[in-house]
Structure 1
């Protein structure tokens, strides 16, 4: 019974099978060439192109223009800092294309950049999540595991995260329990004072700066007051007038790390390579939503006197001089292709008395798609050309 069924099946299939085999044999050379072409195209677009683009990135050289001669210099090694903003990882991924076009590409960009540039410390400037307020605890735990896999680091490099509005909500939306889950999962307290190679970094949850007396705001104000006092007591003119526990061995003006930019009216005067295009750069910014309020900004600058402020949130880049206290604010564009076709990371070299910052462009989604389309057209042209050439040769 079975042998009879097999014979009938073979009678039915052997003709198309032999026909397909004869076609494959006849065009075996073209098929091999096309397969090789596609392999080369995929290898370049999915691996080599990242190397080509990121190899153009470099650590900036320090310039005497930014040297602070009012502070005693040290001979410590320079600190290499990488800055990334607005990852917007989704709690639940809906399809394979979403995974490939966002997470896989971000992971490749990040890992190539870390491998080639070898930063000492990395700061992620908020919005790790895309819809953190609607992410349950189980999905959040899974997302943290994905984040740790995508942004895994060698032992020599440290990473720190500050929360954004997509992680815990804007000021009036913050849920205390949700903020605690984010802080515990990604090791991101409300305020954190770090000293890395004698450089002061202040990591701030800017969602809590709302010019009111909310519970989290009070905690942040207390911690900022402690940091302000410690920075003041560590300056040369105040040494000996404060408790010794409040005095740091070396003073350096702090570097402020947060999600929301400081107050500005628009991005009209921003001219970075990843700045907002016209007329989007003329959009008037709303306080509390797109930037901190003017009162909060003035208070932070007066209390902390930062030399650099790094921020994200706007998905476009900007560099501008800080009012009142000198120094600069650098806003980093989104690292997610869904938010920014031309993403960039920040690269900074800092010492206790000097700094220099550049932007490093990542591969563009539009460029990779264009290369794929051009590569497919070249392969199709080669198929026609190769077939016609062989046909003419055989005819002769």
Structure 2
């Protein structure tokens, strides 16, 4: 009898420990990634005026066909990841850099609705925060399959997106511009032209602001000269523009001097982070994971927007990359167990004064480790039942 009572006590202890384990394992582990850019020193501290932004990507949500494993295990933990991240990090803004859906490009509008409901339910406390979502290739598909009317419909479901899937907003002293990067892979079509109009509009605003500052400092300027593109390019320095948000990374092949594409795997900042290999993804990939924006589109974006810093996604792995003009591009990892054993995300803190940005890579629990714990608990409970 004493033995039976002992097993019952052990069972109760195991179940109680399971709840404690779930709370503990859902908390992210974050590590600050120092910038290799000289002169970009960030003054660390708890300044309430700094803007803290949590960035996630590639949630890869499924609709009704998700199955029990996704419904009751993976999505359950992803919701806990969001809640615990909110509680521990207290961000001011949430950015989602594309691929909310695993098969969105194949879904009808009616089948998109369960995915959207799951997405907003998963956010939990983040629903009360400013939110901005950009569209990924899995959301809207390949160039040959793009349905402009469907993109307009999807864009309306997320705050701040125009019909082309682009957006621009400002919080505090930080300006953000998001582009529909998928459209920039396509040829000459109306969607791409719409995205290019957004780039040119933001470029014009950037140059007008710079011209206003120049006029204030040096007196009046010639209006004709101020709208000469050559004049603009010579007066706007790199890093003067907005924070740029994309789903696809920019082209890096032209930057062999700084490590090129191989920097994704050899960057010294990743040492100790134990980034695992990718697993097989849910569904078919509309674009290959090594896909980047073409060199001409990349150069166009750099010249037009002079981004302060760039955040991209799609590769499912964290990367911190310095372009030839010293612009920093951070690639946000996937937050889905359907893509990697251990998901993650990025937290960017924008200093109120100056242009410094602090980047933290936050890792979340490995799915394999959690499954091992569950298997162990099941074995213990089975033994307790047999003894009882």
TM-score, structure 1 length as denominator?
0.76
CA 1:66 to 1:380, structure 2 compared with 1: closer, same or farther past 3 Å? farther
Distance 1:64 1:260 in 2: 23
Tell me, yes or no, if the aligned pair for 1:263 and 1:293 is still in contact at 8 Å: yes
**Aligned-residue offset at 1:63:** 11
Alignment of 1:254 onto 2:227: no
Following the alignment from structure 1 to structure 2, what is the Cα–Cα distance between the partners of residues 302 and 186? 29
Q: Deviations over 1:65-120 (max 9, x none)?
A: 4549xxxxxx9921101110100001223422221232111111111101211101
Distance 1:377 1:66, change over 3 A: farther
Q: Unaligned stretches of 5+ in structure 2?
A: 42-46, 228-238, 254-259, 279-286
Corresponding position: 1:360 with 2:362:
yes
Partner of 1:195: 170
Larger CA Rg, structure 1 vs 2: 1
Q: Answer whether contact 2:8 2:384 (CA < 8 A) is retained.
A: no
**Aligned residues of 1:347 and 1:360 also touching (Cα < 8 A):** yes
The C-alpha deviation readout for 1:287-332, integer Å capped at 9, x for no partner, is 99711111111111111111211111111121110223x2211111
Partner of 1:35: 11
1:315, 1:60 → 2: CA distance?
A: 18
Gapped regions of structure 1 (runs ≥ 5): 1-24, 69-74, 279-285, 388-396
CA RMSD between the two structures: 3.5
Distance 1:288 1:64, change over 3 A: closer
Question: Following the alignment from structure 2 to structure 1, what is the Cα–Cα distance between the partners of residues 68 and 277?
Answer: 31
Distance 1:275 1:298, change over 3 A: farther
- Separation of aligned partners in 2, 1:86 and 1:287: 14
Query: Distance between the aligned counterparts of 2:241 and 2:125, measured in 1?
Result: 28
What pairs with 1:1-396 in structure 2 (closer than 5 Å)?
28-51=4-27, 54=28, 56-57=29-30, 65-67=38-40, 77-153=49-125, 157-187=129-159, 188-189=161-162, 190-210=165-185, 212-235=187-210, 236-237=213-214, 241=221, 253-265=241-253, 267-270=261-264, 271=267, 272=270, 273=273, 277=277, 290-324=291-325, 326-351=326-351, 352-375=354-377
CA distance, structure 2, for counterparts of residue 198 and residue 328 of structure 1: 19
Q: 1:364 to 1:203 in 2, by over 3 A?
A: same
* Deviation for aligned residue 1:232: 1.3
Number of corresponding residues: 341
CA contact (8 A) 1:335 1:345 kept: yes
**Contact kept? 2:79, 2:124, Cα under 8 Å:** no
How far off is 1:261 after superposition? 0.7
Structure 2 length normalisation: TM-score? 0.77
The verdict on how the C-alpha distance between 1:287 and 1:138 changes in structure 2, with shifts beyond 3 A counting, is closer
**Structure 1 contact 171–209 (Cα < 8 Å) conserved:** no
Q: Distance in 2 between matches of 1:83 and 1:160?
A: 10
Report the secondary structure of 2:80's partner residue.
helix
- Contact preservation (8 Å) 2:82, 2:124: no
For the 8 Å contact 1:85–1:332, the answer to whether it is kept is: yes
Cα distance in 1 for partners of 2:92, 2:35 equals 17
Is contact 2:252-2:323 (8 Å) kept?
no
Structure 1 residue 28: deviation in Å? 4.7
